[in-house]
Amino acid sequence: MSTGTLEHSIRVVGDIGGTHIRFALSRGVHDISRIWVKRTIDYHDLETPLREYLFQEGLEGIKTAVIGIANPVSGDHISMTNAQWSFSTEATRKALKLERLVLLNDFSALALALPHLPSDELELIGSGQAVRGAPIGLLGPGTGLGVSGLIPTSEGKWMALAGEGGHTSFSPCDETETWLWEQAREIYGHVSTERFLSGAGLQLIHHCLTRQAGQPQEELAPPDITARALEQSCPRSLRTLDIFCAILGTAAANLALTLGARGGVFLGGGIVPKLGEYFARSPFHARFRDKGRFGDYLAAIPVHVIRSPNPGLVGAAAHLIPQASQA
């Protein structure tokens, strides 16, 4: 999907998720260097890590920074949903002597990256052929569940959607999912899709299955669950991952139908790209197509796993070029 015009002004770009912070120097979407990665949990605002990066890289004179952050961006104040961060955008800009500090939702930034990612960084799942100029869907489970999309404009540009689709209500599709929903409702009240499609969601599914089996609980981190599943060393972990992928298939299909995403559906985040060959044979694609009368419609939509190493940084860099905009 590589396309677009580069903007050559130097700026700092960033991608702040619930688990990691990434900053880099950018001269354009295809010129990103000096990448710096830290843990989100080790900080409580934007100023401190960004100041560290600028000092370490000798970039104190930089004037522009564009940061994607895993949070709604509305107004000056940011309080992250999945991290203990709270800060003022304008106060941060002034403290760092920046002329311009742009914050946008991390999945809006990731959506803006899609037209610039080379084909060898995208893995096709199933079949399907993209319709040129049609809307594109994007979602990805990680610390939370990010959801966005690209909508074509009348000027031939792409507009990235800034929403919070991960917090829509979860809708079970079979008896197991109905039972899981009931367990989650006892804990949370409202059960969003993110409660299952996230790292914590993997833990919740595994916890419920363990309790159902009458076995003692294990304190497993999400990577431990996926590792056991991929190694086929733990049937319960494999069942957890199968359920997770089926739920993801439903969520992806719902997004595709909502947007009319005949331009394709793209999967990012911190979990799916690490599932390797398993994901292609997982329940995901069968569930994606399982929409009754619209099964053929969905079967024609290509689904891609994003395997680019730092797509969020590419998207932040793409934000300032003429083709890109955010709704």
| pLDDT over 80 (residue 327) | no
Within 8 A by CB and 6+ apart from 230, the residues are 241, 275, 276, 278
Domain boundary among 78, 105, 132: 105
Residues 189 and 292 in one domain: yes
Q: Quick one: what percent of the chain has pLDDT higher than 90?
A: 88
| Domain presence at residue 312 | no
Checking if the pLDDT of 249 tops 90, the result is yes
Tens of pLDDT, residue by residue over 176-199, are 999 999 999 999 999 999 999 999
| 223 pLDDT more than 90 | yes
**Tens digits of residue pLDDT in 82-138:** 899 999 999 999 999 999 999 999 999 999 999 999 999 999 998 899 999 999 999
Domain total in the chain: 2
Question: Do 50 and 143 belong together in one domain?
Answer: no
Neighbours of 63 (CB within 10 A): 13
Percent of the chain at pLDDT > 70 equals: 96
Contact 194, 163 (CB under 8 A): no
87 and 205 in a single domain? The answer is no
pLDDT of residue 271: 97
On whether both 79 and 134 belong to a single domain, the answer is no
Angstrom distance (rounded) from CA 317 to CA 65: 9
Q: Are residues 169 and 299 in the same domain?
A: yes
pTM over 0.85: yes
- pLDDT at 3 > cutoff 80: no
Better-scored residue on pLDDT, 320 or 239? 239
Q: In what order do the strands lie in the sheet with 324-326?
A: 122-125, 303-306, 265-267, 136-141, 145-152, 158-160, 324-326
Domain holding 207, by residue range, is: 119-307
Which one has a higher pLDDT value, 259 or 323?
A: 259
Query: Can you tell me the mean pLDDT for 236-252?
Result: 99
